[in-house]
Amino acid sequence: MPPYNKTDRSTLKRLPARGFYDRDLVHKILDEGFICHVGFVADGKPVVIPTGYGRIGDKLYIHGSQASRMLRTLKTGVAACVTVTLVDGLVLARSAFHHSINYRSVVIFGNATLVEDPEEKSAALLAFSEHVIEGRWKDVREPTEQELKATTVLMLLLEEVSAKVRTGPPIDDEEDYDLPVWAGVVPLRIVAGAPINDPRLSPEIVPPEYALNYKRG
Amino acid sequence: MPPYNKTDRSTLKRLPARGFYDRDLVHKILDEGFICHVGFVADGKPVVIPTGYGRIGDKLYIHGSQASRMLRTLKTGVAACVTVTLVDGLVLARSAFHHSINYRSVVIFGNATLVEDPEEKSAALLAFSEHVIEGRWKDVREPTEQELKATTVLMLLLEEVSAKVRTGPPIDDEEDYDLPVWAGVVPLRIVAGAPINDPRLSPEIVPPEYALNYKRG
């Protein structure tokens, strides 16, 4: 797929070697994560709120209660910045200065639009659900018309997007490599524990495969 | 410790039952996390960037290269919003509508100030390092004067702060509890893998305890 266009805002100014505009890489990072941090301006000041998301092609969807201040603000079409960060490891160098973190992040600039078409809205909610936990949607009671009405879905086009990646071992100053200090990477990942039954669950219902073997990436 | 004061901006408007201003809870969330998402306004538009942080009492510290656009913008004292999110689990309800995520988050509003005092700057960098990986600082080469000069440290006072927490099982509509659908929580946590030696590490150096048994929270 063609890369995203670099705009002034999405062009990485510092350490450009860590910056990427590759569409497949951006999609891969977005698909491994499921929590984004949404930034918007309210009363002239920045607000950053975590929320889940789903993706269909080059459209990112977020949703929530129609009472949510974030969604009520964003649906007016104000500028937004949505950031997804995956933390892959701690990079332990021989000097304090060269310690770092291995990560993959995506920053999206844009303006959200309200999804009003019922079909797109349903498709977005399904995509959201499958994005967070694949296989769940077919098992649950689908939204009623009233629930759909109470849910705001917003779409942000993936257009002005960049990814940033740091990977690999520490890079120490040449003269520090002889120091008798352990150096390397402590890898980090998100792991699911054993599913916890709802206290009101009927005893004959067992957890489905997607809950027993949940993993990301 | 006394709770944080609620301001108009930090008061949770929706689901106030999930909102907290308790200082110990805020500190606990901040201490378990180590990546924050920093929001600021540049050219009238929001920008959200992930970065590490440390805490000393009611001061949150972030740092980075003096060339960083984020730090150069924030050090002018513009409004900032710093959000830390811990994802604790997926909440699987019997209806699509009542699915949720268990999480703990902290949102801090404020204006960063540049740390110029050399002692505070050194203390902040030590706190940052110990926050990310306790025990590391004593093993590594400390920053030189030139490295300190190349590092910008900013402080944000914890003053206008709120925490938000969702915990526990799904809350379904009463009539849905009889559906033959598994419901409950898939707990999530961050786990460290076995440390990966730097390819240039001398073979006699073994990973320290804090790298072998790294955990958060």
Place of tokens 């606990």: B28
- Identify residue A183 by its one-letter amino acid code: A
A7-60: pLDDT as tens digits: 887 877 666 666 788 999 999 999 999 999 999 999 999 999 999 999 999 999
Q: What is the mean pLDDT of chain B?
A: 95
- Specify which residues A136 forms β-bridges with: none
**Number of Cβ atoms within 10 Å of the Cβ of A10:** 18
| CA separation, residue A200 to residues A108, A140, B96, B166, B171 (Å) | 41, 16, 17, 19, 10
CB pairs under 8 A between A and B: 282
Round to whole Å and give the CA distance between A95 and B53: 18
Which residue in the set B46, B96, B202 is minimally distant from A40, CB to CB? B46
B111-167: pLDDT as tens digits: 999 999 999 999 999 999 999 999 999 999 999 999 999 999 999 999 999 999 999
Interchain pair B181, A140: CB under 8 A:
yes
Closest Cα of chain A to B33: distance in Å? 11
- Report whether pLDDT(B16) > 80: no
Residue A52 with chain B: CB contacts under 8 Å: 101
Measured in degrees and rounded to the nearest 5, phi and psi for residue A178 equal -85, -10
Q: Which residues contact A22 (CB under 8 A, 6 or more apart)?
A: A3, A4, A163
Q: How confident is the model at residue B10 (pLDDT cuts 50, 70, 90)?
A: confident
Q: Which of A111, A61, A71 is nearest to B13 (CA)?
A: A71
User: Over A37-105, what HEC string results?
Assistant: EEEEEECCEEEEEEEECEEECCEEEEEEECCCHHHHHHCCCCEEEEEEEEEEEEEECCEHHHCEEEEEE
SS3 A130: helix
SS3 A192: strand
Give the mean pLDDT of A127-140. Answer: 97
Structure tokens at B16: 């106030």
SS3 A126: helix
What percentage of residues in chain A have a pLDDT greater than 90? 89
SS3 B6: coil
Give the mean pLDDT of B45-61. Answer: 98
Give the mean pLDDT of A147-165. Answer: 96
| Amino acid B122: pLDDT | 96
B190-207: pLDDT as tens digits: 999 999 999 999 999 999
Interchain pair A79, B44: CB under 8 A:
yes
Q: How confident is the model at residue B14 (pLDDT cuts 50, 70, 90)?
A: low
Q: Is A44 exposed, middle or buried (0-12, 13-18, 19+ CB in 10 A)?
A: exposed
Interchain pair A45, B189: CB under 8 A:
no
Could you tell me the domains of chain A?
A: 16-173+183-190 (2.30.110.10)
| Amino acid A16: pLDDT | 63
A82-107: pLDDT as tens digits: 999 999 999 999 999 999 999 999 99
Structure tokens at A200: 């009101």
Residue A99 with chain B: CB contacts under 8 Å: 129, 132, 136, 140
Contact A163, A16 (CB under 8 A): no
Which residue in the set A79, A198, A199 is minimally distant from B46, CB to CB? A79
Give the mean pLDDT of A63-78. Answer: 94
- Measured between CA atoms, the residue of chain B closest to residue A138 is B96
A207: left (phi over 0), alpha (psi -120 to 50) or beta: beta
Q: How confident is the model at residue B82 (pLDDT cuts 50, 70, 90)?
A: very high
| Amino acid B96: pLDDT | 97
| CA separation, residue B176 to residues A87, B173, B179, B182 (Å) | 37, 5, 5, 11
The Cβ-side half-sphere exposure at A141, using a 13 Å CA radius, reads: 20
Q: ipTM above 0.85?
A: yes
- Identify residue B138 by its one-letter amino acid code: K
B94-124: pLDDT as tens digits: 999 999 999 999 999 999 999 999 999 999 9
| Amino acid B6: pLDDT | 84
B57-77: pLDDT as tens digits: 999 999 999 889 999 999 999
| Residue B168 DSSP code | S
Contact A133, A214 (CB under 8 A): yes
